[in-house]
Structures are given as structure tokens and as C-alpha cells.
């Protein structure tokens, strides 16, 4: 079944290797797509209030279950997923889909176990939850900085690189030119619209992604000859140029097995069961990007419904990405599965391997005009939905946890401005990190993401897990568990960069701790180490205060609001803020009176002033930073409501949601068991 189409193409060609480029019909489809996204973005900007912290960062907590669910899916499935999962399918078979199906279980844990705690605590960010739960500031600041590093290393730079690789294949552009163009498009409505614009455009882009990806899957199976042809053809999809004395270019024997050898395989099955779940728990249950979408839901039932929808959608990447990636290897083995560094450099510009071009290759070779433009829109949709989510969540963390710590008296205007400006800083740093991404993990982008995650995320997962479900956990235990866990994980991550995996024709001379301890096993050991430190230090030191327990753990989430010192302090802060706003209102009225006198003296400047004020008003609206109109009353202080009321569920709808939970779990267990 294997073909050798790549050998007929002159090797001197540029990295596109004669792939068809987009034609007029494709460009029209792309333009229609951008107009759709722009329309949805403008509609959501008009519909929602973006001039407050709550409105900008949590969409006013007004979202229904379906935009929450589609946004959870779209935020997770970026262009790095399309390119990375298809690339891992081409290089190593179906094993990488274990991350997707593990995520099905974890997003359900978010809805049923973690979200009730977060909603009861009334937080905006995950570092803020830790600050309330443990007290002090060092854990909050530590986690906030760590989250930003994780976003740069494993999310932003990876998605930008993957999207740029696709555009490079489609348009033959320089990869960095492609990155800059993508960022200019993406940053526009993220900065302007806030979370509401991001969630609604995510919903539109999820529909586009599903239509386009399932269409390409149909074309792929038709081209390869069906399911049986895929099973037979993958084993013989070997490139024509390779070193016969090495394993270069030879498919794995266990390509169609999810659970693989515990010692010699690329993804050992004990690591999948244990080592994969802890980092996955961090991502789905305590990552700001994911939790922020769920916190924007109207109530707990809508948040659970969003988790269920996301879990059902997580079944699809196996069919939409992994299997097409394997088909791409069968159809184009000399390019996608290239086994010689010189050939790989000619094909994709990366001597390590070209499996990451598998998806782009299918799009540009198989699809007719018009559908190519649709899939280009799908890839850009995946990139933009993922990046906008990360940008919004990163700016939330920086603004609410770091900037407010430096400037506790910052006005709401200042917080809005800082949040928007920080997006630009993130973009620059992420672009500089792209070359490291390009060279890592044998050209398998998805495996790069997961290996880095297993070094940084387990300590954070353990701290959240113990904080939410063990009342005895205190600040000292959490801090030292976090510190030592991240220190050990950082050392292993550094060793991985210093001693990268050898290529198929090279001898493995890495240190034993890197060579023989798989990153999933390391994740398990790191989690146990962190747990031992958290428990040991917590038991050896003082108990947490009642204020650090009430409404902040699973067992205390229904506690009534007590007028503790913290609550009184909140009331005082609100009162102080109200007094300040009243004073500012008086100043504005005085300025208004002075301004009227001034205008009476200078009638000639009236037209100019009106013109400028209209321009300012337009700019303020675009940025969602409308000034308070003259005559408006001062904002009312927020009421200290009983958080238990927000956890109440309609009994009838609750039964429907819980029944769907059982169905979804049954499907997950079945598909994992079937492919194991």
C-alpha cells in the first residue's frame, strides 16, 4: 500500500515540495471566515460589558452551557493539537490519543469536584484561590509566575509554531512572517473584547473546526482505501531513502495499541494510567485557561453542562487528527516519514523529522479548491481560539495576581490597561522561544508539549488536590511541596534540554536518569515526592485557621458567610472605594462646571472639542473601557452573598446532567478498553 510519491519531486525545491497553493476560491472562503469571526466578535463586544474587571475577565458570569463547552474544547484544541496529534499519529501510531481520552475524565472531575469549591470561594484566578486557601502571598506569586512560564513554553509558542508550519506549507511563507501575521489578527479582538468575545468566537470556530476536520477525514479514508487499507498500509509506509542499518523510517509494531510495553515503548502503559493523570488534572482542573471559562457560566449546572459537552467532543480528535496523520504517512512516506536528516531538511527545514507536516500535507494535496480554503480557516480558527484563550487568561493572572500585588490601589482603568498591554509582552517572549520548540522531541510537537508538562505541573496538581480535599494542608506544607517539587522537575527539564533524545541513527549516550526514567514515570515519582513533603510539613506545623478552611474545601463549601475579619475588611474596602468614587464624582462635577465656563469663553473651539470627544468615545468603546457618563450614579458596592446559594441546582436538570455523566464515563471506559 505504501507509495513513493515524494521521490518523483526534485529535492531542490523549497519546503513546500510542489504542494498546490491557495487559489481565488480558497481566498474567498478565508475572507468569509474572517468576516464571520469579526461579526461574532463585534456582536459579543456590543452585547457584553467589558469595562469592569468582572465583565472583561469573567464575561460577567453570564454564559450558558454550550458556549462554555465549545470554548473549553476550542481552548484545548489549538493548531498545536492538529499538527501535533497528526504528527504523532504519523510517527508512532495511536498512543498519543491517550492524552485526549484521559482529558475526558479530567474535565468531568472539574465540573463535579473542583468547580463547586472554586465557585463557593468566589475567586477570579487560580493563584487567588491558593492565596485565600493558604494565606500569605508567596504561593500566589509563585504560582502566578509559574503559570506564565508554562503558557509560554507549552502553549503560546507551540501553537504559533504549529500554525506557522501550516501556513508555510500552504503559502510558502517564511515561518516568522507567518507568525507575525497570525499574531496581528489574533491580538486584535483578544485585547478589545475580553473573555466574552473569546468565548463566543470560540463557539463559532468550534463549528468550523468540526466541519472542516471531519471533511478532511472523509477525503483521507477515501484516498487510502478505507479502514482495512489503513491497518495494512501503515506497517509498510517506509520512506525510500533511509539507512538500512537503523530503525529510521520504520513504523512501530505496536502502532495500533494504546497500552504499550512498560519498559521499552515510547508511552508505557503504567505511565499512561498514573503519570499522565496528574499533569492532566492540573490542566483540566486548575489551569486558569480552562477554569476561567467554567467560572464564566451562569451557575454550577451550566458549568457542569459545559464540562460534559467538552468531554463528548474530546472523543473526536482520534478520528479528526490521529487517524488522518497515519493516513498521511501511508500516502506520502518519503516526506512525512523521512528517515534521512538531509531529506528532512529539504522537505520541511527540520533535520530532526517532518511528521509535523502530516496534516498540512493532506490538506494541500487531497482537498479540492474551496475546501483547501476551508481547512486553512480551520487551522487559523484552531490557532486563534487557543491563543486568544491563553492571552486572556495570562493577562488575567498578571493583572489580578501580580500587578495588583505591586499596586494594591490600582484603579479599574489601570487594571484594564495593564491586562491588555501584557498580551504584547507575552507575544514577544513566545516568538523568541519558537526555535527551541522546533528542535525538541524528534520533531513530534505533541510529545514536546506533554514532556514539558510532566516536569512542571505535578507539584501544582498535588497542592491543589490537597488544598481542596484535605483540610489539614497548611501554607508551609503547600509552599515547600511546591518549591521542592518544581526544583526537582526543573532539574529534569534542564537535563532533557541539555541531553536531547538521540536520532534513530545515533547512539544513546544520555545519563541513566534521562535515558531509563520515562517522563511519565518521572511524573509519578515527582507527584509522590510532592505529596510526601506537603503532608509531612503540614502535620509538623500549625493547623490552618478557620478562615482558610471555610468555603475553600470540598467539605466546607456550603459553610455560611461569617462576618470574619476578612469579611469586615472587604466591607471596609468597599466602603472606602465607594467614598473615593463619590469624591471623584464631585471632582468630575466641578470639572464639568469649570469646563462649561471655559467653553463659554472659547466658543470657537466647540466643534473641535466635540470631534475629539467623539473620537475618544469610539476608542473607549473599542477597548471596552467606557468612561462613566455624567450624571450616572456611583457604582453600588458588591453584596456579600452566601456562596452556598450559587451551588444550588434544579433537581430535575441535575438528574439529567448526572445521567449524562454516567453515559459519558461509560463511553470513555469503553473506547480506552477497546484500543488498549
Which helix (H) or strand (E) covers residue 516, if one does?
none
* CA neighbor of 313 nearest in space, from 132, 75, 154, 549: 75
Residue 439 confidence (pLDDT): 62
**Is pLDDT above 90 for 671?**
yes
Q: pLDDT tier at 18 (50, 70, 90 boundaries)?
A: very low
SS3 158: helix
What DSSP letter does each residue of 630-649 carry, written as one string?
Answer: TTPPPPPPPP---GGGGG--
Burial degree of 305 (CB within 10 A; 0-12, 13-18, 19+): buried
Residues 6+ apart with CB under 8 A from 668: 101, 104, 105, 311
**pLDDT at position 59, please?**
52
Q: What is the domain count for the chain? A: 1
The beta strand positions in 103-245, using DSSP E, are none
Note whether 95 and 257 are within 8 A (CB).
yes
pLDDT at 149: 83
Query: What is the average per-residue pLDDT within 286-291?
Result: 87
For residue 273, count CB atoms less than 10 angstroms from its CB and return exposed for 0-12, middle for 13-18, buried for 19 or more.
middle
Contact partners, residue 590, CB within 8 Å, separation at least 6: none
| Residue 192 in domain | yes
- Read off the pLDDT band of 480 (50, 70, 90): very high
In 518-622, the DSSP E strands lie at none
**What is the per-residue pLDDT for 459?**
95
3-state class (DSSP) for residue 260: strand
Across residues 182-189, what is the average pLDDT? 66
Contact 334, 5 (CB under 8 A): yes
Q: Using pLDDT thresholds of 50, 70 and 90, give the confidence band for residue 313.
A: very high
Q: Are 389 and 198 in contact (CB under 8 A)?
A: yes
Residue with cell 487499507: 229
The pLDDT of 387-411, averaged and rounded, is 83
Q: Which helix (H) or strand (E) holds 16?
A: none
The answer on pLDDT for 650 being more than 60 is yes
Write down the H helix ranges in 519-564.
519-540
Q: Which pLDDT score, from 0 to 100, does residue 584 have?
A: 53
Instruction: Determine the pLDDT at residue 645.
Output: 47
> How many angstroms separate the most distant Cα atoms in the chain?
92
Distance CA 145, CA 629 (A): 37
Q: Assign 3-class secondary structure to 382-435.
A: HHHHHHHHHHHHHHHHHHHHHHHHHCCCCCHHHHHHHHHHHHHHHHHHHHHHHH
pLDDT exceeds 60 at position 9: no
- By residue range, what is the domain housing residue 49? 5-268+300-439
Helix axes 79-92, 323-331, angle to 10 degrees: 60
Q: Which position has the grid cell 520504520? A: 250
Which tens digits make up the pLDDT trace of 510-549?
Answer: 888 888 888 899 999 999 999 999 999 999 999 999 999 9
- Within-domain flag for 371: yes
Cell numbers given for 420: 491588555
The pLDDT assigned to 16 comes to 41
Asked whether residue 420 carries a pLDDT value surpassing 70, the answer given is: yes
Tell me the pLDDT tens digit for each residue of 132-160.
999 888 998 889 888 888 887 777 777 77
- Structural domain contains residue 451: no
- Name the average pLDDT for the chain: 78
pLDDT tens digits for range 336-350: 888 788 888 888 777
* Burial bucket for residue 22 (CB in 10 Å: 0-12, 13-18, 19+): middle
Residue 161 has pLDDT above 70, yes or no: yes
Grid cell for residue 7: 521521490
- 192 neighbors 391 (Cβ within 8 angstroms): no
> What CATH number does residue 155 fall under?
1.20.1730.10
Task: Give the angle 451-453-457 at the CA atoms, nearest 5°.
Answer: 140
Residue 507 in this model has a pLDDT that exceeds 90:
no
pLDDT beyond 70 at 5: no
Check if the beta carbon of residue 126 is closer than 8 Å to that of residue 403: no
Tens-digit pLDDT profile for residues 33-54: 878 877 776 776 666 554 555 5
Looking at the domain assignment, is residue 236 inside a domain?
yes
d(CA 104, CA 107): 6
Give the helix/strand (H/E) hosting 94.
Answer: none
Range of lowest pLDDT (371-385, 450-464, 480-494)? 371-385
Query: For residue 274, what pLDDT is reported?
Result: 86
221 has a pLDDT exceeding 90: yes
- Taking the C-alpha atoms of residue 395 and residue 182, their distance in angstroms, rounded to an integer, is 19
C-alpha cell at 124: 477570579
Amino acid at each position: 500500500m505504501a507509495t513513493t510519491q515524494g521521490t518523483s519531486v526534485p529535492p531542490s525545491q523549497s519546503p513546500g515540495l510542489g504542494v498546490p497553493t491557495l487559489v481565488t476560491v480558497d481566498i474567498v472562503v478565508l475572507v468569509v471566515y474572517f468576516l464571520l469571526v469579526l461579526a461574532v466578535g463585534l456582536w459579543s463586544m456590543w452585547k457584553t460589558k467589558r469595562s469592569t474587571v468582572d465583565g472583561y475577565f469573567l464575561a460577567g458570569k453570564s454564559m450558558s452551557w454550550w458556549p462554555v463547552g465549545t470554548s473549553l474544547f476550542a481552548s484545548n484544541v489549538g493548531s498545536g493539537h492538529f499538527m501535533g496529534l497528526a504528527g504523532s499519529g504519523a510517527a508512532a501510531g495511536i498512543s498519543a490519543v491517550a492524552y485526549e481520552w484521559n482529558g475526558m475524565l479530567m474535565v468531568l472531575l472539574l465540573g463535579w469536584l473542583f468547580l463547586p469549591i472554586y465557585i463557593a470561594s468566589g475567586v477570579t484566578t487560580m493563584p487567588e484561590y491558593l492565596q485565600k486557601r493558604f494565606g500569605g502571598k508567596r504561593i500566589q506569586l509563585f504560582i502566578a509566575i509559574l503559570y506564565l512560564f508554562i503558557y509560554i513554553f507549552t502553549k503560546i509558542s507551540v501553537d504559533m509554531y504549529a500554525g506557522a508550519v501550516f501556513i508555510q506549507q500552504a503559502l510558502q511563507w517564511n515561518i516568522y512572517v507567518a507568525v507575525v501575521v497570525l499574531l496581528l489578527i489574533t491580538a486584535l479582538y483578544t485585547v478589545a473584547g475580553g473573555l466574552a468575545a473569546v468565548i463566543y468566537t470560540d463557539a463559532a470556530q468550534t463549528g468550523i473546526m468540526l466541519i472542516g476536520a471531519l471533511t478532511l477525514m472523509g477525503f483521507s479514508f477515501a484516498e487510502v482505501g478505507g479502514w482495512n487499507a489503513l491497518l495494512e498500509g501503515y506497517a509498510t509506509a517506509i520512506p525510500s531513502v533511509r539507512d538500512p542499518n537503523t530503525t529510521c523510517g520504520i513504523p512501530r509494531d505496536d502502532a495500533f495499541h494504546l497500552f504499550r510495553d512498560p519498559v521499552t515503548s515510547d508511552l508505557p502503559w503504567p505511565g499512561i494510567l498514573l503519570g499522565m493523570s496528574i499533569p492532566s488534572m492540573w490542566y483540566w482542573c486548575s489551569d486558569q485557561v480552562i477554569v476561567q471559562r467554567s467560572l464564566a457560566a451562569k451557575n454550577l449546572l451550566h458549568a457542569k453542562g459545559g464540562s460534559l459537552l467538552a468531554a463528548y467532543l474530546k472523543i473526536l480528535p482520534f478520528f479528526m487528527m490521529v487517524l488522518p496523520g497515519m493516513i498521511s504517512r501511508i500516502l506520502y512516506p518519503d516526506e512525512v516519514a523521512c528517515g534521512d536528516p538531509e531529506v528532512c531538511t529539504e522537505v520541511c527545514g527540520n533535520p530532526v523529522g517532518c511528521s509535523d507536516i502530516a496534516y498540512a500535507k493532506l490538506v494541500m494535496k487531497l482537498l479540492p479548491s474551496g475546501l483547501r480554503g476551508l481547512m486553512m480557516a480551520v487551522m487559523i480558527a484552531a490557532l486563534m481560539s487557543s491563543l486568544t484563550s491563553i492571552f486572556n487568561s495570562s493577562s488575567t493572572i498578571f493583572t489580578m495576581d501580580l500587578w495588583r500585588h505591586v499596586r494594591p490601589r490600582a484603579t479599574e482603568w489601570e487594571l484594564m490597561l495593564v491586562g491588555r498591554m501584557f498580551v504584547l509582552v507575552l507575544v514577544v517572549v513566545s516568538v523568541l522561544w519558537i526555535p527551541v520548540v522546533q528542535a525538541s522531541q524528534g520533531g513530534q510537537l505533541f510529545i514536546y508539549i506533554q514532556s514539558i508538562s510532566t516536569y512542571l505541573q505535578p507539584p501544582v496538581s498535588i497542592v491543589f488536590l490537597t488544598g481542596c480535599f484535605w483540610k489539614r494542608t497548611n501554607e508551609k506544607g503547600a509552599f515547600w511541596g511546591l518549591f521542592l517539587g518544581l526544583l526537582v522537575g526543573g532539574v529534569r527539564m534542564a537535563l532533557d534540554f541539555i541531553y536531547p533524545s538521540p536520532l534513530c541513527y545515533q547512539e544513546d549516550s544520555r545519563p541513566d536518569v534521562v535515558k531509563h526514567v520515562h517522563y511519565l514515570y518521572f511524573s509519578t515519582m515527582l507527584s509522590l515526592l510532592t505529596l510526601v513533603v506537603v503532608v509531612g510539613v503540614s502535620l509538623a506545623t500549625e493547623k490552618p485557621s478557620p478562615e482558610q478552611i471555610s468555603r475553600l474545601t470540598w467539605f466546607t463549601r456550603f459553610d455560611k458567610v461569617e462576618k470574619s475579619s476578612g469579611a469586615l475588611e472587604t466591607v471596609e474596602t468597599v466602603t472606602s472605594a465607594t467614598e473615593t468614587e463619590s469624591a471623584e464624582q464631585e471632582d468630575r462635577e466641578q470639572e464639568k462646571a469649570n469646563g462649561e465656563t471655559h467653553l463659554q469663553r472659547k466658543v470657537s473651539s466647540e466643534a473641535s472639542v466635540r470631534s475629539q470627544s467623539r473620537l475618544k468615545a469610539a476608542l473607549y468603546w473599542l477597548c471596552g473601557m467606557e468612561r462613566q457618563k455624567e450624571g450616572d450614579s456611583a457604582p453600588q458596592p458588591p453584596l456579600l452573598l452566601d456562596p452556598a446559594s450559587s451551588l444550588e441546582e434544579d433537581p430535575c436538570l441535575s438528574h439529567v446532567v448526572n445521567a449524562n455523566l454516567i453515559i459519558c464515563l461509560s463511553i470513555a471506559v469503553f473506547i480506552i478498553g477497546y484500543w488498549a
